[in-house]
């Protein structure tokens, strides 16, 4: 369900802003915003000649263009990682160069290779980076998502849902919600995925609807995100600085919007959110960006949202199990719990380098480690 409250004028002005970014591909940008090239150029020409008065309606159309590293290079990367489990992308890349390999990929690509094969615990990596200074190199490598504390309306409450791009601080989504239910969040995520594409990683806290807490932190929402090919990362419990950029966004939202207004309805709150989000993204200088605006550093993701979830295929050597009631699987005559959120899903059990220890994967994500020696 689209965010019907969002002003069409702000959406169109945002599109025009992206058009004027250096290196913009008009064809891809039109597809990202769900319009034809003819409509996109009509918006552009009318904006140039008539300012904002000639902007018209839009439609949607998906697109995709994936890239892959050679199998030989992937095997070389994984071989070094197997022998040096603490080495990251930079060290592995230098070692490949020293060994005489040519066309060695960038360190960031190597990191993605070891993550894709389940040899990098992204949650542990996120916990140990210096969040006050660290930011991802490119837009859409990491989004942060959280609910700002709710506030009262004349009837009920408003729960602002915020989604922020780590690299650019671009506000991907700012939604006035009536609740914090999974269905509410999912419907709004579908809208931003259709508009901006999919992120590589999604960072969120451990509470519902994206975290279950306890031994199994996964919910049906996080399982859906993983099925989309997004690496779900949960913040470190009791460490709000892990979500530092989104927390900072919340303080700015409170200071510039919530402290100055009272809202009588969700619709009224959304209208004010739309106005402020436009200013925040395209007008407001950001100190962390050397006084640039977030839109100057953001561009939509090339990973388009699939209207139908992709089929999950595991490697021939994997032992595939269907998760039964109460989130359990049977393996080698024993029962193991992987989480209720995965009920009826297929998971893969893979051996590790240690006898008796196996990793359980759902799609690309390692969700459990089981030890036959002590079960």
pTM for this entry = 0.68
- Strand, helix or coil at 356? coil
Residue 223's pLDDT is 95
pLDDT given at position 57? 46
User: What gap in Å lies between CA 334 and CA 331, rounded to an integer?
Assistant: 5
Domain borders along the chain are 8-54, 71-128, 142-296, 319-374
Least confident of 27-31, 240-244, 294-298, 331-335: 240-244
Is residue 3's pLDDT more than 70? no
Burial of residue 292 (CB within 10 Å: 0-12, 13-18, 19+) is middle
Among 124-133, 198-207, 296-305, 361-370, which is the least confidently predicted range? 124-133
User: Looking at residue 224, what is its pLDDT?
Assistant: 96
pLDDT of 52 over the 50 cut: yes
The per-residue pLDDT for 317 is 87
The b-or-e profile of 127-149 (16+ CB within 10 A means b, else e) is: eeeebeeebbebbbbbbbbbbbe
Helix, strand, coil % in the chain, rounded to nearest 5: 40, 15, 40
Q: Are 24 and 13 in contact (CB under 8 A)?
A: no
Residue 354 in this model has a pLDDT that exceeds 90: no
**pLDDT, tens only, 90-104:** 878 878 887 888 889
The 8-class DSSP code of residue 342 comes to G
List, in order, residues 6 or more apart from 375 with CB less than 8 Å away: 334, 336
Position 133 scores a pLDDT of 47
The answer to whether 126 and 232 have CB atoms below 8 angstroms apart is no
| pLDDT per position as a tens digit, 155-214 | 899 999 999 999 999 999 999 999 999 999 999 999 999 999 999 999 988 888 887 765
Q: Are 190 and 176 in contact (CB under 8 A)?
A: no
Mean pLDDT is highest, among 19-23, 47-51, 241-245, for: 19-23
- pLDDT attached to residue 60: 43
Best CA proximity match to 194, nearest among 317, 314, 33, 308: 33
Residue 162's pLDDT is what? 96
At residue 58, does pLDDT exceed 70?
no
Q: Which CATH number fits domain 142-296: 3.30.420.10, 3.30.360.10, 3.30.70.1290, 3.40.50.300?
A: 3.30.420.10
pLDDT, one tens digit per residue, over 269-316 is 999 999 999 989 988 888 888 888 899 999 999 999 999 998 999 988
Can you spell out the DSSP letters for 277-312?
A: HHHHHHTS-BGGGTTB-GGGT----SSPPPSSPPPP
Mean of per-residue pLDDT scores for the chain: 83
Report d(CA 282, CA 279) in Å as an integer. 5
Task: Please say whether the beta carbons of 295 and 281 come within 8 A.
Answer: yes
How, if at all, do strands 328-331 and 319-322 pair? unpaired
Q: What percent of the chain has pLDDT over 90?
A: 43
Eight-class DSSP state of 240: G
Angle between helices 8-19 and 266-282 (to 10 degrees): 10
pLDDT at 32: 79
Residue 314's nearest CA partner among 348, 279, 276 is 348
The arithmetic mean of pLDDT across residues 108-125, rounded, is 73
Residues 143/172, Cβ–Cβ less than 8 Å: yes
Lowest mean pLDDT among 44-48, 59-63, 83-87, 288-292: 59-63
The helix (run of H) or strand (run of E) holding residue 80 is: helix 71-83
Q: Is the pLDDT of residue 238 over 50?
A: no
> Do residues 177 and 183 touch, judged by C-beta distance below 8 A?
no
Query: Strand pairing of 334-337 and 328-331?
Result: antiparallel
Per-residue pLDDT averaged across 239-266, rounded? Answer: 82
- How confident is the model at residue 55, as a pLDDT? 60
- pLDDT category at 33 given cuts 50, 70, 90 is confident
pLDDT of 69 above 70? no
pLDDT recorded at residue 128: 44
What percent of the chain is predicted at pLDDT more than 70? 83
Q: Cβ distance 92 to 81 under 8 Å?
A: yes
pLDDT at res. 184: 96
**Angle (nearest 5°) at CA 290 between 287 and 295:** 85
Res 125: pLDDT: 56
Hey, CA dihedral for 61, 228, 280, 146, is it positive or negative? positive
Please give the pLDDT value at position 269. 94
pLDDT at 200: 95
């Amino acid at each position: 369900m689209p965010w019907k409250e969002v002003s069409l004028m702000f959406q169109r002005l945002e599109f025009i802003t992206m058009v004027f970014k250096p290196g913009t591909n008009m064809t891809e940008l039109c597809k990202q915003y769900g319009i034809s090239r003819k409509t996109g150029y009509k918006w552009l020409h009318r904006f140039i000649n008539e300012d904002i008065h000639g902007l018209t309606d839009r439609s949607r159309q998906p697109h995709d263009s994936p890239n892959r590293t050679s199998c030989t290079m992937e095997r070389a990367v994984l071989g070094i990682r197997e022998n040096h489990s603490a080495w990251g992308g930079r060290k592995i890349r230098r070692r490949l160069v020293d060994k005489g390999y040519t066309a060695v990929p960038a360190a960031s690509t190597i990191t993605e290779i070891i993550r894709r094969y389940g040899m990098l615990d992204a949650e542990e990596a996120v916990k140990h980076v210096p969040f006050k200074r660290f930011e991802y190199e490119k837009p859409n490598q990491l989004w942060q998502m959280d609910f700002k504390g709710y506030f009262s309306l004349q009837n009920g409450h408003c729960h602002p849902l915020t989604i922020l791009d780590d690299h650019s601080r671009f506000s991907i989504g700012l939604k006035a919600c009536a609740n914090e239910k999974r269905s509410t969040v999912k419907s709004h995520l579908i809208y931003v995925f259709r508009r901006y594409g999919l992120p590589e990683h999604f960072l969120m806290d451990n509470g519902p609807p994206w975290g279950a807490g306890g031994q199994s932190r996964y919910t049906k929402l996080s399982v859906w995100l993983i099925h989309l090919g997004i690496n779900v990362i949960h913040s470190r419990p009791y460490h709000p600085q892990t979500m530092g950029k989104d927390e900072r966004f919340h303080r700015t939202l409170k200071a510039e919007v919530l402290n100055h207004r009272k809202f009588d309805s969700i619709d009224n709150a959304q209208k004010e959110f739309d106005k402020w989000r436009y200013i925040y993204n395209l007008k407001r200088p950001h100190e962390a960006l050397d006084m640039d605006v977030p839109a100057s550093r953001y561009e939509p993701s090339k990973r388009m949202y699939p209207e139908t979830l992709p089929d999950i295929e595991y490697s021939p050597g994997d032992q595939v199990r269907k998760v039964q009631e109460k989130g359990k699987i049977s393996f080698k005559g024993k029962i193991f719990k992987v989480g209720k959120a995965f009920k009826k899903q297929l998971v893969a059990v893979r051996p590790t380098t240690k006898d008796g220890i196996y990793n359980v994967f759902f799609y690309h994500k390692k969700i459990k480690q089981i030890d036959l020696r002590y079960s």
